[in-house]
Amino acid sequence: GGSGARPTGTGISYLRLAEGGTLILKDIELLPVQIQERLAALLAHDAAHRPSVFVVATSRAPLSELAQVGKVAAALLPAFARDPLFVPALRDRKRDIPELARHFVGRYAHRLSKAVNGLDDQALTKLVSYDYRSANVQELKEALERAVVLADGDTVGAEEIFLGTPAQPRRHVLNMLGSGSVWPRRVALALPKVARPLVALFFAALLYLCFWASPRDGSNLGVILVWSLWWPALALSFFVGRVWCVVCPMAQVGEVAQRLRALNRRVPEWLKRHDSHVALAGFAAIIWVEEATGMRHWPLATGLLLLSIMVGAVVTSVLYPRRTWCRHLCPLGFFSGCCAESALLELRPTLDVCSAKCTGHSCYKGRDSASGCPVFNHVMFIDSNRHCVLCMKCVQNCENGSVQLNLRLPASGIWARSHVQAPEARFVVALLGALLSLAVVQHVETAGHGFLSLLLAEHRAAVVTGSLALGLGIPLVGLEFLARRLRSRGNPASAERLWHHVVAWVPLLTTGFVAYQLAYVPGLPGLRLALGVTLPGEAPGQALWLPLLDLLRVALLVVGMVVTAAIMWQLVRASRGGDQPVKGRLTHLAAPMIYTVLLVLLLVRPAWLGL
């Protein structure tokens, strides 16, 4: 609304400076109430004092509503109630976004002297699809200014646009780079450089052993190293983060190919929209090939599997920028990113430093001495470990020392996340079903007798196919049915909470996969742990020998279940404002408990318990 006033007194004020013009008071509810009351007195002068200043006030809610909660002085209401103008939020007038976006890009390109003349279709789609809830048009302006700085070509692409509220600082973390000593930083930067060539040599040796070394059966050293060492080690690395992606030889070969020949095409929109489905299909195909063909005992097939993943990384690196393979296509990368949500390490920004000092955004763009983030991350907007490969490029490039390498409570970042998308939840629930299917196959295989074991031996491909189809299909169908029921009730927030609750299962998924893989560690299934206890009917002092593999599996699954239950407890408490009774919260924990019991019964051989 607007009103007029003639400033009084002899002191210098904004009203006096704006005399003869217009004074705009943005977000008037932020003014102290005492100042608002003085302004109301000025605007209430009688007709003898003709106004010479037109005063316009803006607010994020109707003044009457703000007055009821004490944010606006009641005396101001008559002055601004005469000519109110309601401007819908940007999310309610999305047709304006393309026009505003082009205007702001032109303005910032001119100011920064950059030859950026517009946005591509993917960037506009990303801007229009987003709901601006934190700062409205200001949020759009900040995103586009940052995008113009980040843009390398003549148009702004979707990868250069970062929307949403930056990740807020979290408590209960230990910044391993903040000790004041330079050694932690040097070690963090040196480890990837040292490990990458060693892993590349190891991988080259694996390919040689699989393709050219003898014998050509399950006793081949390459097969033993891949399935008995690499896969279990990969599973254990999930407790740290996506550390395998730091040293992955497939990505290294892709980077070499990119330096030799890079087309740098834009990543297709359909791929970014459906990347989780593509990765899930690839992961399911890998599992099926492993289990249906007996690849664990077939060197040539093992080598071809590794080589096919490398070819995918090379082709993608030649076609698209950076590590598009790792971000959008790699099945192992998606799986490790999913499990890394429960990891002990995380890279996060010091938000105040980023906001106050950052102008070049070198964590994304890179500098002359080092390239930018390989997977299109801007450290200021990282709120999960899904796409962070712990390459330390952001640590190396940040001139302000903003990046933190935090040691945190396992999976503490899951309940702190502000947003979880449906594709991520579908990926998690499908992997939970696949893990259960693998456990069934392993249980039948190790039993060595009975109808199911005979059926698996004679019709392995059919049994594995059926088990995986059920394991993947039933959870996905059930999740979609539940989501549609929630949407039909007219509460979209309930579906969003459902995705978050599904992702809370990641710790149990991670420990379950590790427990499954431990069976293939050489020598571990034969180890026993002696307990000095006396059982009924046994001679005093006789030890009880317990399989170490079973003990480790039970311990891992229990830990995973406890962490998952703790996250779900926190999520339910936050969604209900802490008002839900304890009994109501416990009902949400029944599903992970039942799932854990099923995995224990399938993975642990209970004969030593007398069952």
Q: Is 407 helix (H, G, I), strand (E, B) or coil?
A: strand
Classify residue 136 by its DSSP letter: T
In this structure, are residues 316 and 214 in contact, taking their beta carbons and an 8 Å threshold?
no
In this structure, are residues 603 and 443 in contact, taking their beta carbons and an 8 Å threshold?
yes
In this structure, are residues 225 and 286 in contact, taking their beta carbons and an 8 Å threshold?
no
Q: Is 532 helix (H, G, I), strand (E, B) or coil?
A: coil
In this structure, are residues 418 and 383 in contact, taking their beta carbons and an 8 Å threshold?
yes
Count the alpha carbons within 13 Å of 472 in the hemisphere toward its beta carbon. 16
Handedness of CA 319, 320, 323, 327 (dihedral sign): negative
- The pair of three-digit structure tokens given for residue 1, joined into one six-digit string: 């609304």
Q: Rounded to two decimals, what is the model's pTM?
A: 0.85
- What digits encode the pLDDT tens for the residues 126-165? 999 998 887 788 899 999 999 999 998 899 999 999 998 8
Classify residue 165 by its DSSP letter: P
Looking at the DSSP bridge assignments, the partners of residue 531 are: 544
- The pair of three-digit structure tokens given for residue 291, joined into one six-digit string: 């289990």
| pLDDT for the residue numbered 62 | 85
Round to the nearest angstrom and report the end-to-end CA distance of the chain: 79
| pLDDT for the residue numbered 143 | 94
| pLDDT for the residue numbered 419 | 80
| pLDDT for the residue numbered 27 | 86
Helices (DSSP H) in 53-96: which residue ranges?
Answer: 63-68, 77-80
Residues in contact with 521: Cβ distance below 8 Å, sequence separation at least 6, in sequence order: 228, 229, 232
| Radius of gyration for the chain, computed over Cα atoms and rounded to the nearest angstrom | 30
In this structure, are residues 6 and 53 in contact, taking their beta carbons and an 8 Å threshold?
yes
Residues in contact with 560: Cβ distance below 8 Å, sequence separation at least 6, in sequence order: 507, 508, 509, 510, 511, 512, 596
Q: List the chain residues with pLDDT less than 50.
A: 6-10, 47, 607-611
